[in-house]
């Protein structure tokens, strides 16, 4: 949902009037937008389940010009748009490499319906920037659309200009919503303890049920006993949610252990933080192919959700990753510069957002 919020913010800044359909549970995510933009231009329609008298029956009297949504995962959006009729523009919060990989498979099976809905939409909005993958953007435009309306608008992040990165000597491990096994956690803890790295380790669920052995069914702390006390002078363990973007923007942070979800990858890239990649599932592997194999701006430290890294090797990579001459860092900083230029006035993504708003209002 966060990329959609970032895109909405950029469109509102350009004078668009937007109504967001949202469920009650997700409504608080819109608070930043509600505080920044007037109700005249930013509106919400809360979808209550089951239906509620506060939602009028029949079509609204004031129809919008465009439905902007993800027909990739919600193919019914095009049918709604056709019924009025309205333009249906598809937003894909992924990169062009992932799109071409998904749609380029001969046996797409489950994705056939979604691909059809996406390619039949009025246009595509993609959370990448042209300079990151120009050939792939051109390929997606030529091969997977009939209208050739593809707007790259990324990186869609709340970038703070003028941040001096200074020295980089610490690392925040982040494995998102994916839970590490006891063995994987032990390997990561050993690597952090062995290395000379200062670190922040965000552990969403420190308690895990044991499904074997004498402690079957019991909740156990996956953080090794005594670990926090032993590393208290150089490391911090955060149990639960952590302010990831704020941490990555800090000038002392040099590298970042991540599963390589695309949103997290863009945050690391814009922050100028080297990504140590441990892809786990789905799109993580497409992103790894692009960022590790093709662009060389990330280093692989894990293979998949079942792999357990060698703690000694991992410790050495952690230590090397904060050095100024780390090859991935050198390449990343050059790519970061291109990304920052893309979202500044006159840049490719900035101009594409202007063109998108103009197209929506025609």
Question: DSSP letter string over 282-341?
Answer: THHHHHHIIIIIIS--EEE---STT----HHHHHHHHHHHTSTT-HHHHHHHHHHHHHHH
At 185-223, the pLDDT tens digits run 999 999 999 988 899 998 876 555 444 444 444 456 778
- The CA distance from 223 to 316, in Å, is 21
C-alpha 271/C-alpha 274 separation (Å) is: 9
- The residue-averaged pLDDT of 235-252 equals 86
355-359 contacts: CB < 8 A, separation 24 or more? 355/151, 356/11, 356/89, 356/123, 356/125, 356/151, 356/153, 357/11, 357/14, 357/15, 357/16, 359/123, 359/149
Structure confidence at residue 181 (pLDDT): 85
Identify the CA nearest to 131 among candidates 325, 267, 335: 335
At 153, phi and psi to the nearest 5?
A: -125, 10
Give me the pLDDT at residue 117, please. Answer: 75
Q: How far apart are CA 40 and CA 316, in angstroms?
A: 55
Percentage of residues of the chain with pLDDT beyond 90: 49
- Answer yes or no: are the C-beta atoms of 259 and 276 closer than 8 Å: no
Contact present, 87 and 65 (Cβ < 8 Å): yes
The single residue listed with the structure tokens 């593809």 is 150
Model pLDDT for residues 218-233, shown as the tens digit of each residue: 456 778 899 999 999 9
Task: Among 3.40.630.10, 3.40.50.11540, 3.40.462.10, 3.40.50.2000, name the CATH number for the domain at 2-159+343-360.
Answer: 3.40.50.2000
- Measured between alpha carbons, how far is 299 from 77 in angstroms, rounded to an integer? 38
Over the stretch 6-35, which tens digit does the pLDDT of each residue have? 999 999 999 999 999 888 888 988 998 999
CA 117 to chain centre: 23
Distance CA(57)–CA(52), nearest Å, equals: 10
CB-based contact 234:198 (threshold 8 Å): yes
Peptide bond into 50 cis (omega under 30): yes
- C-beta neighbour count of 234 within 10 angstroms: 14
User: To which CATH superfamily is domain 170-339 assigned?
Assistant: Glycogen Phosphorylase B; (3.40.50.2000)
For the chain, residues classed under CATH 3.40.50.2000 are 2-159+343-360, 170-339
On the question of pLDDT at 245 being above 90, the answer is: no
């Amino acid at each position: 949902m966060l990329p959609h919020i970032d895109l909405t913010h950029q469109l509102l800044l350009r004078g668009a009037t937007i109504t967001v359909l949202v469920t009650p549970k997700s409504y608080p995510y819109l608070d930043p937008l509600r505080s920044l933009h007037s109700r005249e231009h930013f509106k919400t329609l809360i979808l209550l389940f089951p239906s509620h008298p506060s939602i009028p029956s029949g079509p609204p009297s004031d129809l919008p010009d465009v439905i902007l949504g993800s027909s990739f995962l919600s193919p019914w959006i095009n049918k709604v748009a056709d019924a009025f009729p309205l333009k249906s523009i598809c937003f894909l919060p992924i990169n062009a490499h992932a799109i071409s990989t998904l749609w380029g498979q001969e046996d797409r099976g489950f994705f056939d319906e979604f691909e059809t809905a996406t390619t039949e939409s009025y246009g595509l909005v993609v959370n990448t920037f042209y300079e990151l993958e120009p050939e792939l953007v051109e390929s997606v435009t030529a091969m997977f659309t009939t209208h050739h309306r593809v707007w790259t608008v990324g990186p869609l992040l709340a970038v703070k200009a003028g941040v001096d990165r200074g020295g980089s000597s610490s690392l925040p491990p982040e494995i998102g919503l994916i839970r590490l096994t006891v063995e994987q956690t032990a390997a990561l803890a050993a690597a952090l303890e062995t290395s000379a790295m200062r670190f922040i380790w965000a552990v969403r669920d420190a308690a895990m049920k044991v499904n074997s052995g004498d402690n079957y069914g019991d909740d156990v702390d996956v953080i090794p006993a005594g670990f926090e006390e032993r590393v208290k002078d150089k490391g911090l363990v955060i149990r639960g949610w952590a302010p990831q973007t704020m941490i990555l923007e800090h000038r002392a942070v040099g590298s970042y252990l991540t599963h390589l979800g695309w949103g997290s990858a863009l945050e690391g890239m814009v922050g100028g933080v080297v990504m140590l990649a441990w892809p786990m599932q789905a799109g993580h592997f497409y992103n790894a192919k692009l960022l590790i194999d093709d662009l060389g701006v990330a280093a692989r430290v894990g293979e998949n959700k079942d792999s357990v890294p060698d703690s000694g090797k991992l410790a050495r990579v952690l230590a090397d990753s904060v050095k100024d001459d780390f090859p991935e860092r050198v390449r990343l900083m050059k790519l970061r510069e291109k990304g920052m230029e893309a979202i500044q006035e006159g840049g490719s993504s900035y101009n594409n957002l202007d063109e998108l708003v103009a197209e929506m209002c025609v």
